[in-house]
Amino acid sequence: MPFYVKQGQIPHKRHITFKKESGELYREELFSTHGFSNIYSNKYHHNMPTKALTVAPYNLSHGDTWQDSLIQNYKLDSRQVDRDGNFFSARNKIFFNNDVAMYTAKVTQNTEEFYRNAYADEVVFVHEGQGTLYSEYGTLEVKKWDYLVIPRGTTYQLKFSALDNVRLFVIESFSMVEVPKHYRNEYGQLTESAPYCERDLRVPNLQDAIVEKGKFPLISKFGDQYQITQLEWHPFDLVGWDGCVYPWAFNIQDYAPKVGQIHLPPSDHLVFSAHNFVICNFVPRPYDFHPQSIPAPYYHNNIDSDEVLYYVDGDFMSRTGIEAGYMTLHQKGVPHGPQPGRTEASVGKTETYEYAVMVDTFAPLQLTQHVHGCMSKDYNRSWLED
């Protein structure tokens, strides 16, 4: 995170005695990244966070690899592979490589289980629904179209106020998810030219510590494997914390897009960065203002990246037949662009209403069997003119 937050009670120095009224010590936990050399937070617990009663395997799978998938352009309706479950068990893995994995989920249940992704940061895009993110750091109100950025190792719950229509797009990153460096000055503050600022970022509010002894189930994810740990003490027992590592939220509607005289490349719509991939988004904006501009994107060949689009809402300028919850994958080495007639139809238009999340990866993506089950069989022929 680009800025420091302090909440609750903390001692005036790190790593010194910090006592309760009873004389017992609060238990300090350093929550650090890149060893001890990058951003971190210090958390102060009522009880040792290491106390576990039992550890056992936990059976949960999100989708098998489609071994013989072709290198081509894909369009799919992710809603066709929905399954019942909570915010982590309902996830269907769609695309993945060694840097990133992408999931969709229709959440039909809330759960009292706690969850922790031990190996990956998570970006949870809340396509539909609202509720609350509960974590060690406090509560964070969740709105429709929020990006929730959750650092690896965070113990949390995600509960929704109504379960009639809750849909998530989840991006799992095996490197730190960051605000792009060129959006920040040398001191870490977001610059005047960045498409969002610190006022747009929402952080948790620490609640009263829950000091309860019992059996508290924690589901931990280690890559593609899961374990269940029965904790002796409720994990949300913090009296205070400070630092730069914590879950936070940003709503896509607070993104201020760039516009230009001619069509700007997708990199100008960047939101977050990570190792070997980036996250961009497309939001309503005025179109290009050159008198001869073509607002629709030019045909392009991503020779260095695979491009995934998750469609959120609106009218998508380059293609008909797209609905909310659809996804497209355009793989490196295969050109793509507007379907016939869409380039001409865009000329003279002054604005667009569209919301979409894009993930560009710099290593090839693998596909799961879910893609085979919900893909449009004739998408490759959609550029043929009658």
Per the DSSP assignment, residues forming a β-bridge with 108 are: none
Residue 317 pLDDT: 80
Residue 89 pLDDT: 98
The amino acid at 151: P
Report the alpha-carbon distance of residue 263 to residue 346 in Å, rounded: 12
Residue 86 exposed, middle or buried by CB count within 10 Å (0-12, 13-18, 19+): buried
Low-confidence residues in the chain, pLDDT < 70: 1-2, 386
The sheet carrying 156-160 orders its strands as 52-58, 225-233, 213-222, 114-117, 156-160, 131-135, 138-142
Angle, vertex CA 129, rays to CA 128 and CA 131, nearest 5: 150
What tokens appear for 189 in the block?
């503050």
3 state DSSP class of 381? helix
Residue 316 pLDDT: 85
Candidate CATH numbers 2.60.120.10, 3.40.50.300, 3.40.50.1820, 3.30.565.10; the one for domain 253-381: 2.60.120.10
Report the alpha-carbon distance of residue 386 to residue 372 in Å, rounded: 27
**Dihedral in degrees, nearest 10, Cα atoms 44, 31, 229, 99:** 160
* 171 neighbors 359 (Cβ within 8 angstroms): yes
Return the CATH fold of 52-62+84-234. Jelly Rolls (2.60.120)
Is the model's pTM score more than 0.85?
Answer: yes
Which among 31, 179, 47, 48 is positioned nearest to 116, based on CA atoms? 31
Angle, vertex CA 27, rays to CA 23 and CA 30, nearest 5: 150
Domain-wise residue ranges, the chain = 52-62+84-234, 253-381
Looking at the chain, the whole-number percentage of residues with pLDDT higher than 70 is 99
Residue 385 pLDDT: 79
Residue 220 pLDDT: 98
Domains 52-62+84-234 and 253-381 share a fold: yes
**Whose structure tokens read 């960065």?**
273
Angle, vertex CA 18, rays to CA 233 and CA 114, nearest 5: 25
Residue 57 pLDDT: 98
Report the alpha-carbon distance of residue 371 to residue 321 in Å, rounded: 18
Residue 198 pLDDT: 96
The amino acid at 346: S
Give tens-digit pLDDT for 72-99.
Answer: 999 999 999 999 999 999 999 999 999 9
